A and B are shown apart, each in its own frame.
Chain A
Amino acid sequence: MSDPLSNPTINTTNVGGQTTTQNTIGGVGGGKSNSVGTPYTTPLQTSAYTTANSLSATNSPIPNHHMINSNSSNNLSGMVTPGGAGLQQQQSSITSSTNNLGLLGQQQPQQQQQQTLLQPFTTQSRLISASCFEFFYIEMIDCIMKSSSDKQQAHKKLDKLGFKVGHRLVERLSLDTALFPELLDAVKFICKVFWTTVFKKTIDGLKTNHKGGVFVLTDSKFQWLQHLSFDSSASNKDCSEYVQFTAGLIKGAMSNFGFKCIVTFDIQQVSTCVFTIKIES
């Protein structure tokens, strides 16, 4: 999965000036025409690239040199800018390469034009990426619900799936972080860096009991329930399957830090979620 992402970088640095310029302008041109049209009309190529990027970010347990840079930018984005900082930095990287090639004799006006055209593409990619994931998430849960004999089995599958993703994601996110001396520091990492990367915001509330073995995390605007609503006449208003995956994420992340735990959740008002982490010892 990493190879397709590595190739563009190699091409940028190795191919001659003229060819690189044309490639860059072509790509940016696509983005430009996209922004001129209806925002919701998406070129397939852009979607494919963004989706591949997202999948790579989630599924790569062993980062190569390119991914190490992404790790840094993601950690920074966790602390400073929610959301697209990582992608922005990648775009900046492309711009820097173009600037370097400019020193080899390219004309100044072309350089300026390229930099200007990069902006809308970046914004568009971010929107597309978020929407793609939301639709994928809906279909994933629908598929698991239908392929399970009962609700309990579906929840177990979702929990296991979330565990795997959380376990691997936290490996990548914590690369540039100092070791956690205490359990509370690991939980704080989940509340800030991890939550910002996955849900674009920090946890709204963190409570702990006196002994320190139980933590209650409150997210008052849970990202993945923001667009969910029921038919007015629906008798069954249970949407817990759309949160079970997240409980698995937390469980997997904490497990990778060395803390075995049980994670339960409670959906209170519309889109308010409370996650309870109990450490096993």
Chain B
Amino acid sequence: MTINSIYILNKAGTLIYQNDFGNTEKLSHNSYIRLGSTFHSLHAIASNLSPVSGSSSGIEVIETEAFKLQCFQTHTGIKFYVIADPNHQQLEELLHGVYELYTDYVLKNPFYEIEMQIRCDLFDYKLNRLLGVRE
């Protein structure tokens, strides 16, 4: 029941936050950017391919034997997704919690520039506490 990593993408698909937890192998900075961009593209393609008429929400869950990816997209187009153990439950609630922390400790931080990379100590601290409770 572990969380491997969390990504936050802005509406243009740019990776604005990424963090690894637990014993995950560290990748290079460019690799994380590439992973974020790839998921953004897949999300857009899946939305267009959807057989349901009207607008589709895009990818919400990807499940494999090795991991589970849960994605939450806000009405404004910000995407939060988390990669965790295949058996992990309540990832959707977790992402809503991350969204609340984002609105409270990133957007209300006067030193944060909109659409830029998130570097807020308080947000990191609160996020670690949120994940600590879940784990």
Residues of B that sit less than 8 Å from A by CB: 74-75, 103-105, 107-111, 119-123
Query: CB distance B74 to A230 under 8 Å?
Result: no
With a CB–CB cut-off of 8 A, which chain A residues contact B105? 227, 229
Select from chain B the residue with minimum beta-carbon distance to A38.
Answer: B75
Interchain CB contact under 8 A, A229 and B120: yes
- In the assembled complex, which residues on chain B have CB atoms less than 8 Å from the CB atom of A229? 105, 109, 111, 120-123
> Which chain B positions have C-beta within 8 A of A227?
104-105, 108-109, 122
Over the window 117-148 of chain A, the binary record of Cβ atoms lying under 8 Å from chain B Cβ atoms (1 yes, 0 no) is 00000000000000100110010011000000
Judge whether A231 is part of the interface by a CB distance below 8 angstroms. Answer: yes
Measuring CB to CB, which residues of chain A are less than 8 angstroms from any residue of chain B? 38, 40-41, 131, 134-135, 138, 141-142, 227-234, 239, 242, 270
A142–B103 CB distance below 8 A:
no
A227 to B74, CA, bound (A): 21
- 10 of the cross-chain contacts (CB-CB < 8 Å) are A38-B74, A38-B75, A134-B108, A142-B110, A227-B104, A227-B109, A229-B121, A230-B111, A232-B119, A233-B119
Contact call B109/A228, Cβ cutoff below 8 A? yes
Q: What is the interface of chain A mostly: helix, strand, loop, or mixed?
A: loop
Do A228 and B110 touch (CB < 8 A)? yes
Q: How far apart are the CA atoms of A143 and B120 in the complex, in Å?
A: 22
Closest partner residue, chain B, to A41 (CB atom): B75
Q: Is the CB of B120 within 8 A of A40?
A: no
- Most chain A CB within a 10 A radius of its CB, from B75, B107, B110, B119: B110
Docked complex Cα distance between A239 and B105 (Å): 16
| Cβ-defined contact, B74 with A231, below 8 A | no
Per CB-CB distance, the 5 closest pairs between chain A and chain B, nearest first, are A229-B122, A227-B108, A138-B110, A231-B119, A229-B120
**In the bound complex, do residue B108 and residue A231 qualify as a contact, i.e. CB atoms below 8 Å apart?**
no
Rounded to whole angstroms, the CA-CA distance of A40 and B108 in the bound complex is 14
Bound Cα distance A63, B75 (Å): 40
Q: Which residues of B contact A228 (CB under 8 A)?
A: 109-111, 122
- A231 proximity list for chain B (CB < 8 A): 111, 119-120
The winner among A231, A233, A234, A270 for most chain B CB atoms within 10 A is A231
- Shortest A226–chain B CB gap in Å is 8
**Beyond A40-B74, A41-B75, A135-B107, 18 additional pairs, beta carbon < 8 A:** A38-B74, A38-B75, A134-B108, A138-B110, A141-B110, A227-B104, A228-B110, A229-B105, A229-B109, A229-B120, A229-B123, A230-B111, A231-B111, A231-B119, A232-B121, A234-B111, A239-B110, A270-B122
Provide the bound-state CA to CA distance between A239 and B103, in Å.
20
Q: Which residue of A lies closest to B122 (CB)?
A: A229
- Name the distance in Å between A257's Cβ and chain B's nearest Cβ: 31
Which one of A229, A231, A239 has the highest number of Cβ atoms from chain B below 10 Å of its Cβ? A229
Which residues of chain A are near B108, meaning CB under 8 Å?
131, 134-135, 138, 227
Give chain A residues whose Cβ lies under 8 Å from the Cβ of B111.
Answer: 228-231, 234, 239
